[in-house]
Amino acid sequence: MARHDAEMFCRFVYSPDLSYEALLTLEAALKVELAAVLGEGGGEFIHFEETGDALRVQCVFAGYDEDVFHALCEKIAPLTDGRAETCMLFVDKDLQLLHVYALHDGAWRECCVGLPVPGLLTGAGAGKEPMTGTTPAAKAR
């Protein structure tokens, strides 16, 4: 059975200056290019969802690999040429890390978030210390 340790969510937003016809043409081209780039990068089960003013993309990857995410950003960034921009979210399915990328005008930025370990059981399995203390937003409910 195949194992997929990472899931990617992406949302392309289109410029309001695009005509309806130009948007449809751009969207069709984006889908072809993204399918190729994501597939070459190891993405599987690539799903597109058109929402009118945006294009959602979702797929899975065998591993959670920041180098792969960076390579994808390098290939996808040129598609953000002022007519569209995007954010990409990569989720570690073991819920240890999140990588978020913002791409626009041919460039990209990155943010990585390490998720807190809820307790000893999860911490022992991941080799991490459990979350300590509580804050108003982190109290158990």
95-118 confidence digits (pLDDT tens): 999 999 999 999 999 999 998 888
* Of residues 60, 75, 53, 76, the one with CA closest to residue 5: 60
**Per-residue pLDDT, 13:** 97
Distances from the Cα of 121 to the Cα of 94, 96, 126, 128, 131, angstroms? 13, 14, 9, 10, 11
> What's the rounded mean pLDDT across residues 22-45?
97
pLDDT for residue 123? 62
3-state SS class at 138: coil
Measured between alpha carbons, how far is 40 from 43 in angstroms, rounded to an integer?
7
Band (125; pLDDT cuts 50, 70, 90): low
pLDDT, residue 136, reads 42
Top pLDDT among 39 and 127 is at 39
Query: Which tokens go with 17?
Result: 């200056």
The model's pTM is 0.83
> Tokens for 121?
């059981």
User: How far is 84 from 2, CA to CA, in rounded Å?
Assistant: 33
Share of the chain above pLDDT 70, in %: 85
pLDDT bin (cut points 50, 70, 90) of residue 124 is low
Q: pLDDT tens digits for 40-60?
A: 999 999 999 999 889 999 999
